[in-house]
């Protein structure tokens, strides 16, 4: 493309994107105004950041004697020290590498300077520091997007670049991580990759030393931030190659030999930046290498492609479907793209490594930093759509739907109670997808995919038990004093099994219902009391459905809750019903157990 041309559309689109990002960061969900685990410096961000107050405020990088006071006061990780781990020598090592702390440093320095002047505690976590990290992430994101536009204009037309920016900012999870959760590493690394791509392009045009130095520093910074991003070195090493033929490889090696001095300098620069982490580890542990991701590792032989990409819990393409176009764009990119080997090799190997991490449910955020690379395949697809109008007509409505979806998921993720980060299921997802509200019993779909929302037709009562004739420690007088209730608490966790023969042949559904009462709600999902129904054939469980009662039961409430089972084709002769308090210490009372087929 001609860099001297006036690129008006992509400029206007950039300004529109910047406006949306600023609105999301400062008005829609300003994390810098929040406290605890919703603050700008919380969870992973607090771990990246912890180096800075340790060094510059408390002067205690080894022993972390100040940590308990900070955790108690600000609660960035629910008061437990997830930012680091204790070593055998009694010192502490940070969990995360120090690259983000290096990038945060200028913003931290300004916040530390003004905190006292504005009357805030200069403790590293008061409002000026929170604002500085939020603003820093947004600023870095805006810079990265500006230079991504500049990069892509070297390869694609103005209108193609404009559409790619809309798809990334308005239509993908980049919006969230560039403006709301912008303290996370992903938008910062996004910008690092943009500069790496730009400087690689410039280097191969002129082979100047200044570009080699920048490339080395950028690769070092990416690796210092996220060690697996050492993979970024593939971009400059493979740049310019359009195939993996013997001739292409031979030509690339000849080019390296001819320009070996800049390459050596780049390697030295990268090693110098990476050495920051090695020196830190040596200082706190006495060893040059420390593995701080306890219980987490890469499984190269069995990467979680399916779960990482398509799980309803956190699947990348489920919650950011716009990025499907990055995969579809590989096809036209193979035919007309430039620097195919560098772009596609990095894309696919990075995707493989991300999926190989055993904690696959960290979600699509791990791919955000590679979006500058993926932008090339998306742009190739958009370019092809302008050449073949059928692709434009087919793709445009899908893009619009994905734009709406991204606004919806970004909104409900941060506001309202529809999104549940830990308990999304396929049935629940598709029932709420695109909606801004849903009936209360919709929450039961998180565990039970068979919830029936219509009016039962031709119900037949199969079982009834008001517990009046039951005996044992689990049964206590009803609040009316006339009957009795099944009572579960911290000392009585598992009810007996209530069994009855199934006589509803010809029906399609089974509904079991009971009346539940509590004084206070259990909010922790894994401790919520469970309502369990099993279909049994000759002592063997054929099917089991479960619901967590507190999904729909609130403080001091008495409510009849039903559990539906879509009847399987497999034969079963009886139904077992039981209740478990989920290790909770919150008492719950249960009455009037009934079952129908319909």
Based on the domain organization, do 55 and 113 belong to the same domain? Answer: yes
The Cβ of residue 534 has, within 10 Å, a number of other Cβ atoms equal to: 19
Kindly report the CATH number assigned to the domain that includes residue 576.
2.60.120.260
Nearest to 233, CA basis, from 315, 151, 345: 345
**How does pLDDT run across 169-184, given as a tens digit for each residue?**
999 999 999 999 999 9
> Do 371 and 174 contact (CB within 8 A), yes or no?
yes
Assess if residue 6 is contained within a domain: no
For residues 511 and 459, give the distance between their C-alpha atoms in angstroms, rounded to a whole number.
Answer: 9
Assess if residue 153 is contained within a domain: yes
For residues 98 and 54, give the distance between their C-alpha atoms in angstroms, rounded to a whole number.
Answer: 12
Give the model's pLDDT for residue 3: 46
Mean pLDDT of the chain: 96
Give the model's pLDDT for residue 125: 98
Based on the domain organization, do 284 and 388 belong to the same domain? Answer: yes
Based on the domain organization, do 246 and 325 belong to the same domain? Answer: yes
| Mean pLDDT calculated for residue range 8-19 | 97
**How does pLDDT run across 528-552, given as a tens digit for each residue?**
999 999 999 999 999 999 999 999 9
> Could you say which DSSP state residue 583 is in?
T
| Mean pLDDT calculated for residue range 333-355 | 98
**How does pLDDT run across 437-493, given as a tens digit for each residue?**
999 899 999 999 999 999 999 999 999 999 988 888 899 886 666 579 999 999 999
Assess if residue 312 is contained within a domain: yes
Strand runs (DSSP E) across 64-127, as ranges? 84-86, 92-94
Based on the domain organization, do 452 and 410 belong to the same domain? Answer: no
pLDDT above 50: residue 375: yes
What are the phi and psi torsion angles at 569 (to 5°)?
-75, -25
Hey, is 590 helix, strand or coil?
Answer: strand
Burial of 463 (C-beta count, 10 Å sphere; 0-12/13-18/19+): middle
Assess if residue 57 is contained within a domain: yes
pLDDT band at 307 (very low <50, low <70, confident <90, very high): very high
Based on the domain organization, do 279 and 404 belong to the same domain? Answer: yes
pLDDT above 80: residue 150: yes
> Do 546 and 447 contact (CB within 8 A), yes or no?
yes
Give the model's pLDDT for residue 480: 60
> pTM for this structure?
0.94
Give the model's pLDDT for residue 339: 98
| Tokens found for residue 369 | 């930093």
pLDDT band at 147 (very low <50, low <70, confident <90, very high): very high
| Mean pLDDT calculated for residue range 502-523 | 95
Based on the domain organization, do 352 and 497 belong to the same domain? Answer: no
pLDDT above 60: residue 1: no
| Tokens found for residue 142 | 């805006």
Assess if residue 375 is contained within a domain: yes
Domain ranges, residue 205: 26-414
Residue where one domain finishes, among candidates 365, 396, 414? 414
DSSP assignment of 10-49, as one string?
HHHHHHHHHHHHHHIIIII--GGG--GGGSSS-HHHHHHH
Based on the domain organization, do 465 and 390 belong to the same domain? Answer: no
What is the number of structural domains in the chain? Answer: 2
Assess if residue 60 is contained within a domain: yes
Give the model's pLDDT for residue 6: 62
Based on the domain organization, do 408 and 457 belong to the same domain? Answer: no
Assess if residue 8 is contained within a domain: no
| Tokens found for residue 231 | 């993979």
pLDDT above 60: residue 2: no
What are the phi and psi torsion angles at 87 (to 5°)?
-95, 170
| Mean pLDDT calculated for residue range 509-513 | 98
pLDDT above 50: residue 4: no
Based on the domain organization, do 388 and 334 belong to the same domain? Answer: yes
> Do 536 and 574 contact (CB within 8 A), yes or no?
yes
| Tokens found for residue 106 | 């200028």
| Mean pLDDT calculated for residue range 507-518 | 97
Based on the domain organization, do 261 and 404 belong to the same domain? Answer: yes
Assess if residue 440 is contained within a domain: no
Based on the domain organization, do 264 and 325 belong to the same domain? Answer: yes
| Tokens found for residue 61 | 């990088």
Nearest to 165, CA basis, from 1, 421, 375, 461: 375
Based on the domain organization, do 402 and 482 belong to the same domain? Answer: no
């Amino acid at each position: 493309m001609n860099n001297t041309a006036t690129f008006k559309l992509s400029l206007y689109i950039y300004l529109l994107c910047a406006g949306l990002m600023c609105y999301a960061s400062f008005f829609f969900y300003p994390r810098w105004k929040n406290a605890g685990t919703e603050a700008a410096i919380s969870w992973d961000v607090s771990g990246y950041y912890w180096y800075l107050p340790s060094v510059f405020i408390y002067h205690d990088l080894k022993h972390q004697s100040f940590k308990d006071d900070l955790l108690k006061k600000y609660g960035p990780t629910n008061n437990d020290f997830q930012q680091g781990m204790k070593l055998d020598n009694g010192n502490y090592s940070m969990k995360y590498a120090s690259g983000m702390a290096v990038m945060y440093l200028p913003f931290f320095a300004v916040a530390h300077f003004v905190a006292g002047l504005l009357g805030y505690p200069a403790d590293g976590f008061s409002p000026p520091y929170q604002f500085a990290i939020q603003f820093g992430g947004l600023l870095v994101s805006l810079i990265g997007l500006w230079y991504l536009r500049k990069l892509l204009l070297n390869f694609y037309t103005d209108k193609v670049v404009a559409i790619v920016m809309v798809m990334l900012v308005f239509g993908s999870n980049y919006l969230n991580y560039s403006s709301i959760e912008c303290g996370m590493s992903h938008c910062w690394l996004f910008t690092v990759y943009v500069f790496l791509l730009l400087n690689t392009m410039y280097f191969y045009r002129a082979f100047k030393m200044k570009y080699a130095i920048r490339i080395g520093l950028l690769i070092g910074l990416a690796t210092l931030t996220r060690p697996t991003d050492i993979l970024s070195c593939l971009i400059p090493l493979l740049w310019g190659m359009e195939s993996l033929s013997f001739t292409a490889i031979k030509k690339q090696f000849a080019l390296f030999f001819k320009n070996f001095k800049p390459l050596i300098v780049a390697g030295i620069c990268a090693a110098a930046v990476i050495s920051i982490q090695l020196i830190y580890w040596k200082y706190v542990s006495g060893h040059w290498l420390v593995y701080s991701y306890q219980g987490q590792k890469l499984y190269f032989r069995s990467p979680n492609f399916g779960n990482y990409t398509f799980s309803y819990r956190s699947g990348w393409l489920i919650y950011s479907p716009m990025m499907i176009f990055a995969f579809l764009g590989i096809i036209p990119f193979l035919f007309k793209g430039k620097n195919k080997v560098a772009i596609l090799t990095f894309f696919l190997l990075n995707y493989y490594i991300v999926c190989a991490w055993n904690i696959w449910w960290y979600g699509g955020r791990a791919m955000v930093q590679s979006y500058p690379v993926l932008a090339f395949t998306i742009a190739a697809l958009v370019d092809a759509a302008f050449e073949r109008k059928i692709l434009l007509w087919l793709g445009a409505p899908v893009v619009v739907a994905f734009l709406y979806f991204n606004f919806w998921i970004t909104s409900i993720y941060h506001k309202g109670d529809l999104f549940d980060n830990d308990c999304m299921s396929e049935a629940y997802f598709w029932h709420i997808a695109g909606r801004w509200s849903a009936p209360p019993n919709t929450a039961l779909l998180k565990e039970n995919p068979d919830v029936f929302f219509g009016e039962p037709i031709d119900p037949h009562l199969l079982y009834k038990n008001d517990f009046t004739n039951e005996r044992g420690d689990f049964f206590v007088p009803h609040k009316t004093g006339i009957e009795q209730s099944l009572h579960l608490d911290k000392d009585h966790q598992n009810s007996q099994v209530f069994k009855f023969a199934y006589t509803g042949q010809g029906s399609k559904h089974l509904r079991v219902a009971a009346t539940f009462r509590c004084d206070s709600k259990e909010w922790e999902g894994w401790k919520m009391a469970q309502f369990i129904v099993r279909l049994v054939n000759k002592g063997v469980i054929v099917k089991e459905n479960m619901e967590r009662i507190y999904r729909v039961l609130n403080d001091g409430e008495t409510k009849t809750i039903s559990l539906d089972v879509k009847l399987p084709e497999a034969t079963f002769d009886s139904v077992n019903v039981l209740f478990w308090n989920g290790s909770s210490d919150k008492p719950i009372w249960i009455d009037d157990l009934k079952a129908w087929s319909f």
